[in-house]
């Protein structure tokens, strides 16, 4: 099934996550791009839903990442070009976007290298 309407409730929820107020209230955030999604998967970030637009997928790395996500129990949705352009940040058009649960980490839970360089920002 391809999601083609920007009025779809699921798409509206994703679009709202572009706003910091919605991210804080919901506890979810958007991960966009091949590199970012790969890093999130390696870090064990809990992805709840995944959206892709075939028109923007351009190389084998995108296909490999899509196959990797299909092997999980994450809800996967194909979206139209128009819908993807509404949920993506700015001009980024990698064709891959996920919604993930914000991890709750305490400073004591953070693992650092022997000589860490740490910046904490909000």
Domain range annotation of the chain: 2-109
Q: Is pLDDT of 103 > 90?
A: no
The pLDDT value given to residue 73: 87
Of the candidates 50, 51, 29, 35, the one whose C-alpha atom is nearest the C-alpha of residue 103 is: 29
- In this prediction the pTM is 0.81
The residues near 81 (Cβ < 8 Å, ≥ 6 apart) are 53, 55, 56
Q: Per-residue confidence at 104, pLDDT binned at 50, 70, 90? A: confident
| Mean pLDDT, range 57-75, rounded to an integer | 84
33: which strand partners? none
- Residue bearing the bigger pLDDT, 99 or 34: 99
C-alpha distances in angstroms, 48 versus 1, 45, 69, 90, 102? 18, 9, 11, 22, 11
Q: Per-residue confidence at 114, pLDDT binned at 50, 70, 90? A: confident
Q: Is pLDDT of 9 > 80?
A: yes
Q: In angstroms, what is the C-alpha Rg of the chain?
A: 15
How is domain 2-109 classified at the CATH fold level? 60s Ribosomal Protein L30; Chain: A; (3.30.1330)
């Amino acid at each position: 099934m391809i999601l083609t309407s920007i009025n779809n409730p699921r798409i509206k929820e994703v679009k709202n996550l572009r706003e910091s107020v919605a991210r804080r209230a919901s506890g979810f955030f958007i991960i966009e791009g091949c590199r970012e999604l790969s890093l999130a998967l390696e870090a064990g970030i809990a992805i709840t839903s995944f959206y892709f637009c075939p028109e923007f997928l351009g190389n084998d790395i995108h296909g490999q990442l899509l196959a990797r996500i299909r092997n999980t129990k994450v809800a996967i949705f194909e979206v139209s070009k128009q819908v993807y352009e509404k949920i993506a940040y700015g001009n980024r058009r990698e064709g891959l976007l996920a919604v993930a649960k914000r991890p709750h980490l305490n400073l004591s839970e953070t693992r650092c290298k022997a000589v860490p360089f740490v910046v904490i920002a909000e």
